[in-house]
Structure 1
Amino acid sequence: MEKLKLEPTKHTLFEDLQAIVTGTLAVAMGVLFLKEAGLLTGGTTGLAILIHYSTGFNFGLTLFLTNLPFYLLAIAQMGWAFTLKTMLSVALVSLLTELIPNWLVIEGIDPLFASIGGGLLIGIGLLIVFRHQASLGGLNVLVLFIQERYGIRAGKLQMVLDSLIVIAGLWLVTPWLLAVSVLGAIVLNFVLTTNHKPGRYTGF
């Protein structure tokens, strides 16, 4: 039997916007889980958490500022449409991570559950955003560019970089919380490695 060939379909503006809102909400919830449990994560989100833990500086603003240098790479290599959607995604995550605690109060959360649940939520959110030709800035831009240019799987490269960032936070958390944080980074990137492969998704 001849295989049915599906032609790539272009996302509408509405489809892109709903995906960005849905994806960033999932990411913000995952970040909230990690923060409430005192855990770390990778990417520019992880860097922002490290700065937040170390200085007490506003997390949402730190996340937004940390991503600014990577927009130049996004413009040069990925184009304006990708960059603008990425800037919107980063801005929404920065805003939602500050607003959600006003709407949802978590009185206690087990670190192991926060690690796995948070990793899954962030991974799913990133996957949704990626599939609409956007990212959450920072290392996401870099690994997506490398995947598009050199064919190196974004999930695997992101896993390596995320693990290094998490390990860099050893002086901020206990060895147990560090180990649980690494587990969360692995779970997050497992979602991406399993589901985000070149050529698999035909929307653009």
Structure 2
Amino acid sequence: MTPTSPSPALPPSLRHGAYEDAQALLAGTLFVAMALMLFNQSGLLIGGTAGVGFLIHYLTGISFGKLFFVVNLPFYWFAWTRMGHEFTLKTFLSVALLSALVELFPHVIHVDYLNPLFAAVLGGLLLGTGCLFLARHKSSLGGATIVSLYLQERWGIRAGKAQMVIDCSVLLMSLAVVPLERVAYSVLAAVVMSVFLWISHRPGRYVGR
């Protein structure tokens, strides 16, 4: 099924309502915001547009929340034309909410000690869970996630596989400006997230929408 083809009719009991969508988008972005806080405090990176935002943040000191929102702007046209207006609008709301939460978190929570290995594993699982919540309610966090979900819907390529390739490629390119140890932990986090999505997000398994 292509992204532009109509979805099969579902019984009303299986369809997501506005309240269900709202709580899923909020929960998903909260999980991801927590993961990004762990990465930021342990000096780790992430792939995709978030990784680009982190690199610029580390190099310039500009807040990640603002950078993440701006870096994602070019991807909305692709999402609108390939994934539909509902997906695009929900993605825009999720990105905006995540940007706001990332700006808020330093004022409400701080971790005094954080082992980078623990941050990589827990952060990867939080990222995978948050992205799964959003994907099952026709949303994403922009950038590479839009591309990976499109590849899954259009060509049957698992979103987790595509996400892992994109994320690890971005992280490996960051070796030019980031120490090897930090990049290695960041790659581990990307693999943990992508394997989680690879196993959990399969086309046709989840029919509610």
- TM-score, with length taken from structure 2: 0.92
Q: Output aligned runs, 1:10-159, within 5 Å.
A: 10-159=15-164
Any residues of structure 2 matched to 1:177-196 within 5 Å, and which?
A: 177-196=182-201
Work out the CA distance in 2 between the residues paired with 1:158 and 1:174. 23
Deviations 1:157-194 (A, max 9, x none): 11001001111111333211111111011001011101
Shift of 1:88: 0.5
Deviation at 1:129, TM superposition (A): 0.5
Instruction: Tell me the equivalent position of 1:202.
Output: 207
Q: Are 1:53 and 1:172, in contact at CA under 8 Å, matched by a contact in 2? A: no
Unaligned runs of 5+ in 1: 1-6
Let me know the Cα RMSD of the aligned residues.
Answer: 1.0
CA distance in 2, matches of 1:171, 1:38: 15
Instruction: Kindly state the Cα deviation for residue 146 of structure 1 after the two structures are TM-superposed.
Output: 1.1
Do the aligned residues in 2 keep the contact of 1:43 with 1:138 (CA within 8 Å)? yes
Structure 1 residue matching 2:174: 3-state secondary structure = coil
The total of aligned residue pairs comes to 198
| Shift of residue 54, structure 1, vs aligned partner | 1.4
Contact 1:26–1:125 at 8 Å: present in 2 too? yes
Q: Determine what percentage of the aligned residue pairs are the same residue.
A: 49
